[in-house]
Amino acid sequence: MKPVLLLIPGMLNNENVWQHVLPLLPRDWSVRIANVLTQDSMTSMAHDAWKLLDDLKEDQALIIAGFSLGGYVALEMLANPKRQVHGAALLSTSVLPESNESRANREKTIAAMQTNFPKVVEGILKFSTHEASDAELDALRKMQLAIGCEAAVRQTHAIMGRSDHRAKLSTLTLPLALMCGEYDRVTPPDLTRQTQLCFPHATTIWVPTGHMLPFQQPLPVAQCITSLWESSLPL
């Protein structure tokens, strides 16, 4: 039986952030994409993501891939599992809790978004992409502006309030992949290196890009996810 794949978007992202990854995945997989736009906490995001999987058969394999904020949601799911997970990919994310400095910066970002959201979006585009084409920037801009300020503020509060699950997560033995852009300024490589300390058995993949891995580097993302399924199979 082929696996179910749960994809979890990042902040100010919807299903469109995975649009270039989907055609590169095995066609017979069942793919679900979580909605992380309406909730105000990681716990509620994880709860709603689990609900998408209520119909899975007991022996059906499940792979989870979370990008950025979606990685935080994936970690929440792994720390409090409702069923067995057979592999997980954590893309452009970190297992570390919120620092005081980061929390203060997010408070400033919230104030800026509520003052001039389009201006903040332009800053996010510049900070999160690497050598992006005009077409890529236009697509991301359209998506983020459509999602809007209210959802962005909710998501930011959820990020600030996320739990530190390192003690629970350090005991995981499932196939796990960490992927980071070498030029990521949102979740810099050092955060991935610190995340490696929590998951010493994980495979770490470095990609010559910025933060927006699924959108700008879909092929290595698809290959990473597919390899998780293959590594979960019995020898």
On the question of pLDDT at 46 being above 90, the answer is yes
Tell me: the pLDDT tens digits for 95-117?
Answer: 999 999 999 999 999 999 999 99
On the question of pLDDT at 235 being above 50, the answer is no
Is 172 domain-assigned? yes
Tell me how many domains the chain contains.
1
Is 20 domain-assigned? yes
The token pair that represents 24 in the structure block: 């590169």
Is 62 domain-assigned? yes
CA distance 222 to 225: 5
CATH code, 179: 3.40.50.1820
Tell me: the pLDDT tens digits for 150-196?
Answer: 999 999 999 999 999 999 999 999 999 999 999 999 999 999 999 99
Is 140 domain-assigned? no
Domain that holds residue 177: 4-99+154-232
Tell me: the pLDDT tens digits for 51-89?
Answer: 999 999 988 999 999 999 999 999 999 999 999 999 999
Determine the pLDDT at residue 134.
Answer: 98
Determine the pLDDT at residue 233.
Answer: 62
- Report residue 63: phi and psi, to 5°: -115, 135
- Report residue 148: phi and psi, to 5°: 90, 170
Q: What dihedral angle (degrees, nearest 10) is formed by the CA atoms of 115, 119, 123, 128? A: 90
Is 133 domain-assigned? no
Q: How many CB atoms within 10 Å of residue 175?
A: 21
Is 43 domain-assigned? yes
Whole-number percent of the chain with pLDDT over 70: 98
In sequence order, which residues have a C-beta less than 8 Å from that of residue 6 and are 6 or more positions away?
A: 32, 33, 34, 49, 52, 53, 62, 63, 64, 65
Is 54 domain-assigned? yes
Is 67 domain-assigned? yes
